[in-house]
Structure 1
Amino acid sequence: MGTSRARCVLAPNPSPMTLDGTNTWILAEPGAEAVVVVDPGPEGDDHLRRVIGIVEEQGGHVALVLLTHGHPDHAAGAKRFAELARTGRRDVPVRALDPRLRLGDEGLAEGDVVTVGGLDVRVMETPGHSDDSLSFWLTADRAILTGDTVLGYGTTVVEGRLGDYLASLDRLRAFAGEREAAVILPGHGPSLDDPVAALDHYIDHRRARLAQVEAAVAGGARTAREVVERVYADVDRSLWPAAEWSVQAQLDYLRDRADDA
């Protein structure tokens, strides 16, 4: 799974929320020594050392860590990873949108282009799953690293504002079409080889869920839990707490839209 410049190393943290586990991405130009690692993953030296070992086996070294967002399954191991990956006097910066996650002086923001070893990675702010969610455009491979904004299968939880998330999906859909994106490299699950179709599915699903939530409210549901019991009745109950986060975001969105009407 991946591209000629992106290799996935799966973290051993499978769960209903993380699917098969967290995808740690190793990015590098073919033959280059300097490597970028996206989302080192959760705490635990075994996975972190495995990623470093793969980089070193390829004759490279970790020059930089990028984080798609701050959830622990993606970011909790980042600073420890940077410590383990440090070679000689060469520090390994950790760059993220949230200053609390950074190691070093530089962060990440919309429009930044990160260049390491001839590899260009463009930064896109795509909030919704979380307020600090980023996506990365791997220019040479026409690949979008989406973190948890788009998953390899299933749909993601919305912990931020639904309006932001819908805007992020619309933006990614337009970007994928304009740039003829070849693949989505998600934070969980397999690669998606038809980015436009995948994003169309996400947009359609999210708007269908919103209509279901709106109907549940019209039918008398008042709390996120009451909506989940109606709309997510066919979903495993172990996922209901996560569904409540997304439903609350939808209720807030509907309330804001009503206030603006």
Structure 2
Amino acid sequence: MSTVHPAYAQLRRVTDIASVLLENNPGMMTLDGTNTWILHAPGSVECVVVDPGDNDEEHLQRVAGIGPVALTLITHRHYDHTGGVDRFHELTSAPVRSVDPTFLRGGASALVDGEVIEVAGLKLRILATPGHTADSVSIVIENDASVLTGDTILGRGTAVLDDTDGDLGDYLTSLRSLAALGEGLTVLPGHGPDLPDLQAISQQYLAHREERLAQVRDALTTLGESASVREVVEHVYSDVDPKLWPVAEKSVNVQLAYLRR
């Protein structure tokens, strides 16, 4: 069986510390499925799990069976990353930490921007990267030259900004923060394959967002300032399969809020 992405139900090693179990929940928003990351420092018996996935018993059992879990971390609130939190906590008894207090388990405290977590031989730095959602964080693995980016940066394509609490201004700032971490860092995303250079992909994401924003501005010039979200989507995303337009509407909603603010 394949040991490269996508490899369902297989523990695929990506770096010296980070391995991934791909959940079999592919879809328009999840791409090939949700990446559940398992961080295991050499010489440590325990591991840290990032984003256990949705409430898929088979997947959760498989992740829990990898070894003693010292801590579970959540990159953001979306169900495909958090739906299995309760069951995973039952299976492992490991505390669960996130920005959103909804998902805290085992007496854990909320994640704080800039804090460094030392657990199971790992040194993990929390970097607030809101924009996709208000509670999004990335996790810098200090002893591994890699960064878990959740849905802020994906392994392919570009991230959709949630029009419930996503914010384009925050997102652009987050991309700049990730780019500023420097060269040579491996991207460990919430969906899609791992990528070799965080700085390069962050800069590509920034260029793409600026390009789309310019297209939205041009659309408003052509269609009028009161143009609807769907009208803007049809104008800007004419080169995209119409089946994806409902997804594009979310990002356009956020872009229009940014421009009209």
Length-normalised TM-score, structure 2: 0.91
Partner of 1:51: 63
Partner of 2:24: 12
**1:84 is the counterpart of 2:84:** no
- The answer to which structure has the higher helix fraction is 1
Partner of 1:97: 99
Secondary structure in 2 matching 1:4: coil
Which of 180, 183, 187 in structure 2 is aligned with 1:184?
187
Secondary structure in 1 matching 2:215: helix
Secondary structure in 2 matching 1:124: strand
**Alignment check: 8 A CA contact 1:151 1:188 kept:** yes
Partner of 2:5: none
Rounded to whole Å, the distance in 2 between the matches of 1:233 and 1:119 is 46
CA deviation profile, 1:193-229 (whole Å, cap 9, x unmatched): 0222111110100100000011001101511111111
| Equivalent AA in structure 2 for residue 206 of structure 1 | R
Partner of 2:49: 37
Rounded to whole Å, the distance in 1 between the matches of 2:73 and 2:147 is 14
Rounded to whole Å, the distance in 2 between the matches of 1:254 and 1:168 is 18
Which of 169, 173, 180 in structure 2 is aligned with 1:174?
180
Secondary structure in 2 matching 1:244: helix
Partner of 1:64: 71
**Alignment check: 8 A CA contact 1:182 1:194 kept:** yes
**Alignment check: 8 A CA contact 1:144 1:181 kept:** no
**Alignment check: 8 A CA contact 1:79 1:94 kept:** no
Secondary structure in 1 matching 2:143: helix
| Equivalent AA in structure 1 for residue 257 of structure 2 | D
Rounded to whole Å, the distance in 2 between the matches of 1:158 and 1:236 is 18
- Superposition RMSD in Å: 1.1
**Alignment check: 8 A CA contact 2:19 2:38 kept:** yes
Partner of 1:125: 128
Stretches of 4+ moved more than 4 A in 1? none
Secondary structure in 2 matching 1:36: strand
Rounded to whole Å, the distance in 2 between the matches of 1:207 and 1:47 is 38
How much has 1:123 moved relative to structure 2? 0.2
Q: Which moved more, 1:228-237 or 1:133-142?
A: 228-237
Gaps spanning 5+ residues in structure 2: where?
A: 1-12
Rounded to whole Å, the distance in 2 between the matches of 1:134 and 1:106 is 15
Rounded to whole Å, the distance in 2 between the matches of 1:196 and 1:169 is 9
Secondary structure in 2 matching 1:141: coil
How many correspondences in the alignment? 243
